[in-house]
Each structure stands twice: as structure tokens, then as C-alpha cells.
Chain A
Amino acid sequence: AQSVTQLGSHVSVSEGALVLLRCNYSSSVPPYLFWYVQYPNQGLQLLLKYTTGATLVKGINGFEAEFKKSETSFHLTKPSAHMSDAAEYFCAVRNSGGGADGLTFGKGTHLIIQP
């Protein structure tokens, strides 16, 4: 079964500081990994994804993530935080690798940006 662990339910950083949100996964199939962002009272928006190929993937809003198979990790980073980055962030892994794949999500990390 697939699982995703996000370390830290809340992460607080200062504006302009590095953002690091941690994600570790367990998958019985080659992992396809995703980071989604959820702003208050809104749906989920894809930040970036890893399927195959380059292990460092770049997404929207200056975010990037690196797939490390040996560490079963897919941590999300951004060099310089903006106030607008304050949101809930979810890491997810595909379920089965076949058909219409559902996603298994982590519990989410609430990112707080301090002025």
C-alpha cells in the first residue's frame, strides 16, 4: 500500500528565507509524486510533479523538489519565501500505476510566513 509522511504539520519561516517542506513516501510501484497547494477555501492546485526522468523538478511560483529514491523522499523547497506562499501543502503519490490512478496524500503541512 502507498503511504506519504509529511514531517511537521506546521512550518514557520520568515519572509525571504528558505522554505523546506519534507515528504517521504512508500510505494509498491515506481513512484509518481506530486506536490499540491491549497489556499483557504479553495481546491488543490498542482505545484509540481515527478514521473520519470530528471529527479529535480521545477514547478510554479518558484518551487522545486528533488526525487531521491535511496531516501524515498520528495522534499519541496523555495529559495525565498513570499507572504503569498502561506497555505497548506500536500505531498501525494499515485496509488497503483494502472488505469485511472488515485492519489494517496500526506496529512499536509501548513506553511506560515512571518513578516
Chain B
Amino acid sequence: DAKTTQPTSMDCAEGRAANLPCNHSTISGNEYVYWYRQIHSQGPQYIIHGLKNNETNEMASLIITEDRKSSTLILPHATLRDTAVYYCIVRVDSNDYKLSFGAGTTVTVRA
């Protein structure tokens, strides 16, 4: 699976959009981009995933660049409850179902 690079931490104001970048320059054509988050003392939570098209669900939007070498997770209106570690993961959808978590980005939403 391709490796990802994310900023270590970022702050965001409550009510504003939070844009979380992820670089995955070695991604291959059959690898998906997944985002999970882990709120303190809880298990990780799935947010969204995509292959090459932009995706949106009730939690977030995922913007993938045309060359697929980077992506951005957008939390449209951040709340204090969005404070968490956000993980960007790329993986092939194959019989190997594991998720390989990196260090992620610690996002702190401030009032």
C-alpha cells in the first residue's frame, strides 16, 4: 500500500471549514483513499473514501487531485466534537483487508 504524508497537527475555528491535506504521491491506479478519525479514548471511525472522483457524505467531502497524488478532507462546519486524530490511508481493495494507520493529523477545533 502507498504511504501517506499528513501534517502533524492543525487548529481550526469552530463553525469554519477544516481542510485536511494528505499527500500520497506513490499511489497506484487501484488504490483507494480512505479517511478515518479517532476521537480521544474511542475506536477509529470511518469518514469517507474515494478512488478518483470527489466524494461527499453527511460527515465530510473528499477532494482528490486529478493526478491522485494528493487529497483533501473537508469538514464543512467544524464543531468541538470534531477534535480528533484524522488518518489518511491508501489501500488496494483486495483480499488483504487490513488498514495501515500512520501518525495522522491531530485536529483541534477551538471555540
The judgment on whether A and B are partners is: no
On A, residues with C-beta under 8 Å from B are: none
